[in-house]
Structures are given as C-alpha cells and as structure tokens.
Amino acid sequence: MRLDRTDWILLRALQRDGRATNVELSQQANLSESSCLRRVRRLEAGGAIERYAAIVSQQAVGLPLNIFVTITLESQSEAALKAFEREIAATPEVMECYLMTGSADYLVRIVARDVDDLERIHSTRLTRLAGVARVTSSIAMRQVVRRTDLPTGP
C-alpha cells in the first residue's frame, strides 16, 4: 500500500487517539469529512490500520511485572516451530512472541502479578510447551520507554 502525506497525518492522529472522530480527523488532515472517511476505510482495508484498541494499565489491573523469556527448542524443524507457535499463542500471559536469530529461538514477553505468579507460569505453562529445551527469564525492573505509536511518515 502506497501512503501519501495525508495518509501519514491520519495515521499519526489515530495512533495518538484511536477514538478521534471523523470530524476531528478531517480537520487535522484538511479534508472533507467524506474524503477523510474514505481514506481511513482505505487504510483499514489495505492493512495499514490493523485494529483499534484501548491501552490498559498493567499496574491498574494487577499485572505489574514484565518478564522477558528466551526459549530454545529441541528442534528447529518447521513442524516443531509451528507446534510451539500454536501453543505459545494460546498462553494468555504471553503478550508478545518473536522468532529470533542468535542463541535462543524465541523471545517472549509475559506479564505476571508477582514472582509467585511467574513461578506458576514458568512451571505449568512455559516448560510444558511443545518441544521446549530451555527457558531463561529476566524480570524487568522498570519500564524506561513504551511507545504504542510507530514512527510515521516523511
């Protein structure tokens, strides 16, 4: 999908406030309301906008810990990767999972209530996933930067 300057204006505005009205967006982008709505729908249909979501405070809902976990599998075959990915995607505490280069196969970010909760997740979920050979966890002491908006545009 090819994006022009106006598309980038709309994307920046929606990343800052996903609840912005079409009227507000049209004013920011200097478009008519109908033209603005068409552009936003095109951005949605073209995949530039995946979805809209609320950003929930981890602390407010009792999940203050971020844990970064590296996971190494016993085998890196296509079947082993697919089996692991299917199971990790079904693990509710997993917020992000990346297939990596380097010494570990996956980098996973999980959330937990406390260290006891982390131990439960580790022993009852992570180590029981398909084909797992090694699990190493690091607890984040504090978050330094958290962005939800991608750098956009020219």
- DSSP class of residue 144 equals S
Whether the predicted pLDDT of 152 surpasses 90: no
Q: What is the mean pLDDT of residues 55-80?
A: 97
> Taking each helix axis from N to C terminus, what angle separates 5-16 and 22-29, rounded to the nearest 10 degrees?
140
Q: Which of 148, 120, 153 is nearest to 50 (CA)?
A: 148
Based on the fold, state whether residues 10 and 75 are members of the same structural domain.
no
Average pLDDT score over residue span 21-45 = 98
Tens digit of each residue's pLDDT (9 = 90 or more) over 79-112 = 999 999 999 999 999 999 999 999 999 999 999 9
Number of domains in the chain: 2
CATH number at residue 14: 1.10.10.10
Same domain, 28 and 89: no
Matching residue, tokens 């996971």: 71
Average pLDDT, the chain: 96
User: In terms of domains, do 27 and 86 share one?
Assistant: no
Q: Judge whether residue 154 has pLDDT over 70.
A: no
Say whether pTM exceeds 0.85: yes
Q: Is residue 12 domain-shared with residue 69, that is, in the same domain?
A: no
Q: Are residues 69 and 102 in the same domain?
A: yes
Query: Is 69 found in the same domain as 134?
Result: yes
Q: Are 43 and 35 in contact (CB under 8 A)?
A: no
In Å, what is the CA distance from 125 to each residue of 1, 15, 75? 39, 33, 19
Residue 79 included in any domain: yes
Tokens 């106006």 belong to residue:
6
For the stretch 126-141, pLDDT in tens is 999 999 999 999 999 9
Domain containing 118 equals 65-139
Q: E strands, 5-82, where?
A: 65-73
The alpha carbon dihedral of 28, 33, 39, 43 has a sign of positive
